[in-house]
Structure 1
Amino acid sequence: MPHQLVEDHDPLRAQHKYTHLYTDLLRTVRELGLLRRRRKYYLTRIGLVLAAFVAVWVGVGLIGNSWFQLLMAGALALVLTQVAFLSHDSAHRQIFDSARWNDWTARLLAGGVIGISASWWRSKHNKHHSGPNQLQRDPDIDIGVIAFHPEHAASRTGFRAWLTRRQGWLFFPLLTLEGLSLYVASMQHLFRRSATRMERIEAAIVTTRVAGYLTALFLVLPIGKAGAFLGLQLAVFGVCLGGSFAPNHKGMPLVPKTMKLDFLRRQVLMSRNIRGGVFTDFAMGGLNYQIEHHLFPSMPRPTLRRVQPIVREYCELHGVKYAEVGLFTSYRIVVDYLNNVGLRARDPFHCPLATQLRG
């Protein structure tokens, strides 16, 4: 079972030491001007993505009743993935100095263009950032279809146990359902009884977008082709988003719920960067610089590449392990990890983080 780690005979002294490390790094990054907003970059990118969104729907109208519409469904999914990345950046307040402008930009992109609640996503994502891979704190490793912890897997029986034993191999097929899952969870959040006034406004935006999307789809296509269009779009959207988020933390150490870690190690040791060039940056929305993003959540996306060598060198200097692998290697790690959780669910669980830090 996960256990509390005692790292120093004087825990307060150790905690102060590591807290000071992050403060020094933050000061360096701030002095270099790497936290400055990049409004021109973002406004240009938002304009291009929205133009692509309009172009897809123009294409849908021009193609009409044809199975070639499935190509447009795939294109729409790719465009919505880029919109999701922009909404993510805005929710982290990377675009504008004004919190209000950032919040409304995230709300309109997520709710008005994608049809998903930004407030629901922000609440969930903020919890993830505050305790990545920490049991009973990070919602991304909560009990669900996929079991991320042996205790979760061991409690399953019947079909769920069968699925869990094969969950690594089934991970990518299951991602085809991730898009639908996002919409369902978003709606449940917005239409709960305790929804705030702003969430009710957001619910109206999301409902209008979803209703308009379905109406346009069924006006252009017969029910069978419209259903195929919708299914493919949701499947590709889910795979694109899941394929961007999964490599960043899955297979990295899990943090016991009682473990106390300073900010720098909490973010670096549980995150993984993905090597690649401009295409990787585009396809993953900058999330391939996951370590830098977790250390500086409000840092604009195009700056993450510039700060990476600084962070990597700083971590190496102070003995904090910095994980970076290729994209396909990261997927192999995720599959192996999930299969290992499922197949060894009833074995005693050994905390890799404790082993790593004990020395």
Structure 2
Amino acid sequence: MVPQQEKGRGPPEPGVELPSLRLFTWEEISFHNGQGEASRERWLVIDRRVYDITRFHKRHPGGSRVICSYAGQDATDPFIAFHIDKTPVKKHMKQLMIGELAPDEPSFEPSKNKLLLEDFRELQSTVEKMGLLKPNPLYFFVILLHILLLDVAGWFVLWYFGTSVTTFIIATTLLLIAQSQAGWLQHDLGHLSVFSNTKWNHVVHEFVMCHLKGLSANWWSLHHSQHHAKPNCFLKDPDIEMHPTVFSLGKSLSEELGKQKKKYMPYNHQHKYFFITMPLVVVPIFQIYSIYFIFQRKLWRELSWSATYFIRFFITFVPLLGVKVVLGQLLLLNVLESILFTWISQLNHIPMHIDYDGNMDWFSTQLLATCNVNQSFFNDWVTGHLNFQIEHHLFPTMPRHNFWKVAPLVKSLCAKHNIEYQSKPLLSGFADIVYSLKDSGEIWLEAFNHA
């Protein structure tokens, strides 16, 4: 592309040298999305500045797919949402900057709601001024302490009261709760929302995810960031990559699958086999990918941390239960945690809008793809505060203990712009997973039969 230094500018005054600055239109930027043979280059916009990430994206600390999700688009809001300390990041970005939007180009992409974007930017500023992005480490210390106590209690029941069917069930239940709560805590740490210092978040994240759960912290962070960048967007959100191999998700994707006469599974029965398929494979698949990721990236410290999880488990329980029973208990814990994790994590997303990336603004993207579960002490605790999924997706680095404070502001913004803010009872959320799968399956079947 030829530099466009003069576009939108008058002739330079005598004796004044213009900076070597390229000016671009939104149309030119959208062309450089890295897709197809026409353009392999990847550009994106942050605060009107244009950056070429073609060579950088594979070195992006947050992962290639996260940043490439916004190739050819405006990435201002996700940049603000994902980065806590933006000053050092912006220093590295200078070498990637190739120009800026032409003066006659709007700050927001023409297809987006300018008023909504302006209001959301104002909300972001309000959130920072209120200090809602500042964590309370003591709160998270209590969370960690109760996880460790549950873990110890699971062993203590068997050691003190002896081994029987009853004590085994009680011990396994306590260990299951500990594993589930550790999963929510590592989620907080992965989002850098426990400590103000990024390094401390990473260090403790490795302890919780690797030592307490036996999984890779780095693998989870990269995988989950992709989900947050473009939730429920097919080909961009890894959480819906089981479409169409196992499930047919969303109205438009189900119609597409049916018209193409694709039938990898009997999707009209997916609301039935969901009960068996998803819960039984989630954690085992996590473990397989986690191990593969550790060896692929040569994360030997994470490998050592993860090994201590299994070593600790066998040392403490084999003398009480024997090797065969402990292996069975580990398998049972994996299955039960898969069931718990699947239902809690999917009730906020599967019933929502699922489609290809429509390049909507950050606020609308998150509201279309997420819903809340009504607040209560139990709902907050059992879901790790992910019953506030809307607030979490809008502000992914916000500590969970502040979600309830920002929720009224988000509701107000939704009401102002006539955007639906969904919040439902916990059991209704579970039921909606089944209903939405049934509806998608029926849409696929109808399209399949009439194609």
TM-score range relative to shorter protein: 0.7 to 0.9
Q: Residue deviations 1:34-70, cap 9 Å, x none?
A: 2221111111221222122122222233344432313
Name whichever structure is richer in helix by fraction: 1
Q: Do structure 1's residue 80 and structure 2's residue 179 form an aligned pair?
A: yes
Residue in 1 that maps onto 2:201: 102
Contact conserved, 1:93 with 1:298, CA < 8 A, in 2?
A: yes
Cα distance, 1:92 vs structure 2: 0.6
Separation in 2, partners of 1:111, 1:146: 30
Separation in 2, partners of 1:75, 1:292: 30
Gap change, CA 1:155 and 1:13, over 3 Å in 2:
closer
Q: Which amino acid aligns with 2:330?
A: L
Gap change, CA 1:41 and 1:11, over 3 Å in 2:
closer
Contact conserved, 2:150 with 2:174, CA < 8 A, in 1?
A: no
Q: Do structure 1's residue 14 and structure 2's residue 112 form an aligned pair?
A: yes
Percent of pairs with identical residues: 25
Residue in 2 that maps onto 1:156: 263
2:320 to 200, 208, 220: 220
Higher relative contact order (CA 8 A, sep 6+): 1
* SS of aligned partner of 1:129: helix
Matches within 5 A, 1:299-338: 299-338=398-437
Q: Which amino acid aligns with 2:338?
A: G
Separation in 1, partners of 2:427, 2:262: 31
Residue in 2 that maps onto 1:165: 268
2:286 to 155, 165, 182: 182
Residue in 1 that maps onto 2:334: 234
Q: Residue deviations 1:242-301, cap 9 Å, x none?
A: 1220111111111323x1111111111211001131110001100000000001111111
Cα distance, 1:11 vs structure 2: 5.5
Residue in 2 that maps onto 1:281: 380
Name whichever structure is richer in strand by fraction: 2
2:214 to 115, 126, 130: 115
Residue in 2 that maps onto 1:205: 305
Separation in 2, partners of 1:256, 1:311: 25
Residue in 1 that maps onto 2:391: 292
Contact conserved, 2:232 with 2:353, CA < 8 A, in 1?
A: yes
Residue in 1 that maps onto 2:150: 52
Contact conserved, 2:158 with 2:171, CA < 8 A, in 1?
A: yes
Contact conserved, 1:61 with 1:220, CA < 8 A, in 2?
A: yes
5+ residue gaps in structure 2?
1-107
Cα distance, 1:210 vs structure 2: 2.2
* SS of aligned partner of 1:114: coil
Contact conserved, 1:74 with 1:236, CA < 8 A, in 2?
A: no
* SS of aligned partner of 1:12: coil
Cα distance, 1:224 vs structure 2: 4.7
Cα distance, 1:107 vs structure 2: 1.2
Separation in 1, partners of 2:390, 2:142: 26
Q: Paired residues, what number?
A: 331
* SS of aligned partner of 2:387: coil
5+ residue gaps in structure 1?
1-9, 350-359
Cα distance, 1:94 vs structure 2: 0.9
Cα distance, 1:213 vs structure 2: 2.0
Q: Do structure 1's residue 71 and structure 2's residue 170 form an aligned pair?
A: yes
Give the TM-score, by structure 2 length: 0.68
Gap change, CA 1:87 and 1:26, over 3 Å in 2:
same
Separation in 2, partners of 1:59, 1:33: 42
Contact conserved, 1:65 with 1:222, CA < 8 A, in 2?
A: no
Q: Which amino acid aligns with 1:301?
A: R
Contact conserved, 2:154 with 2:170, CA < 8 A, in 1?
A: no
- Displaced runs of 4+ in structure 1, greater than 4 A? 151-154, 346-349
Which structure is larger by alpha-carbon Rg, 1 or 2?
Answer: 2
Residue in 2 that maps onto 1:130: 229
Residue in 2 that maps onto 1:34: 132
Gap change, CA 1:41 and 1:293, over 3 Å in 2:
same
Separation in 2, partners of 1:280, 1:320: 24
